Amino acid sequence: MSQRQATGTDDSRPDLRADCGNCFGLCCVALPFAASADFAVNKDAGTPCANLKADFSCGIHARLRQSGFSGCTVFDCFGAGQKVSQLTFGGRDWRREPGGARQMFEVFPVMRQLHELLWYVSEALTLPAARPVHTELRRARTEIDGLTRGSADSLTGLDVPALRARVNTLLLRTSELVREKVPGRKKDHRGADLMGARLTGAKLRGASLRGAYLIAADLRKADLREADVIGADFRDADLSGADLTGAIFLTQAQLNAARGDGTTRLPAGLERPAHW
């Protein structure tokens, strides 16, 4: 049983999960993408994807990967889309009010970063080992939540890098507190280039993999329990049979970018991707 599971805390965080039915297709319009293995075509920021329908749904949602848009299946707005659509802009969509479209598209990536921070902070608050910093984490969550409820002008004027740096100090301390409870020596692969590395059965419990490049790495049956994986790039990494129980700061987007199978063990609150 992981440290998070042991608390019995509901880790679903529904307000930090995408609700596309209440969003104006912002990720399909505001963000750019380039023709690559992830996207079949080029698209400029602010230009609607050709697959976006009049009701803001995706015309090829059921076959995105087969159509060359696997990047869409990986992206996660952490609930920022519906917040911008329904709260910041009060349900006024960019098609009916094109005059506000540019600002809406500018606000969206800012809101996404704020919601991502809320995801990490909320997770940290479920971890008993991080109790020494829970007061500061709660203060940070209140501050960030308040910022997400500000005006469009206040959001576009935020110094997000400075905020991220402050919050990261708390997240790093959370990671240290959790991982120091793991017995034995912990490996430090922070920011390491492990692209294509052969790590089958690797003992990475309690390791720091912050920002590590694990693209196409072979992590079959690896022990990643209580490993800090914030910002780790798992694109095409093979997690078949790996144990990610209690992995710290793992997101659904990271799992969606990877490969796995029915024997991959996941933390509570995250789903097994449909393509595994």
Written as tens digits, the pLDDT of the chain (276 aa) is: 334 433 333 455 889 999 999 999 999 999 999 999 999 999 999 999 999 999 999 999 999 999 999 999 999 999 999 999 999 999 999 999 999 999 999 999 999 999 999 999 999 999 999 999 999 999 999 999 999 999 999 999 999 999 999 999 999 999 999 999 999 999 999 999 999 999 999 999 999 999 999 999 999 999 999 999 999 999 999 999 999 999 999 999 999 999 999 999 999 889 999 999
Residue entry with tokens 């500000």? 150
What pLDDT is stored for residue 98 in this prediction? 96
Residue entry with tokens 């301390």? 173
What pLDDT is stored for residue 253 in this prediction? 96
Contacts of 28 (CB under 8 A, 6+ apart): 48, 49, 51, 52, 56, 58, 72
Query: Around Cβ 275, how many Cβ atoms within 10 Å?
Result: 12
Sign of CA dihedral 258, 262, 267, 273: positive
Residue entry with tokens 């595994």? 276
Instruction: Locate 195 and state its tokens.
Output: 């692209």
What pLDDT is stored for residue 13 in this prediction? 80
Which secondary structure element, helix H or strand E, spans residue 106, and what is its range?
helix 101-124
By the 10 Å C-beta count (0-12 exposed, 13-18 middle, 19+ buried), 118 is classed as buried
CA distance 38 to 23: 23
* Packing angle of the helix pair 160-179, 101-124 (nearest 10 deg): 20
Q: Where are the domains positioned within the chain?
A: 14-31+75-179, 186-268
What pLDDT is stored for residue 4 in this prediction? 42
Partnered with residue 243 across adjacent β-strands are 223, 265
Contact by Cβ (8 Å): 223, 206: no
What pLDDT is stored for residue 2 in this prediction? 36
Contact by Cβ (8 Å): 75, 253: yes
Residue entry with tokens 């749904």? 57
Contacts of 221 (CB under 8 A, 6+ apart): 200, 201, 240, 241, 242, 243
What pLDDT is stored for residue 119 in this prediction? 97
Contact by Cβ (8 Å): 51, 59: yes
pTM (predicted TM-score)? 0.92
Q: Name the residue among 197, 196, 113, 190 with its Cα closest to residue 147.
A: 113
Partnered with residue 152 across adjacent β-strands are none
What is the fold of 186-268? Pectate Lyase C-like (2.160.20)
Contact by Cβ (8 Å): 187, 204: yes
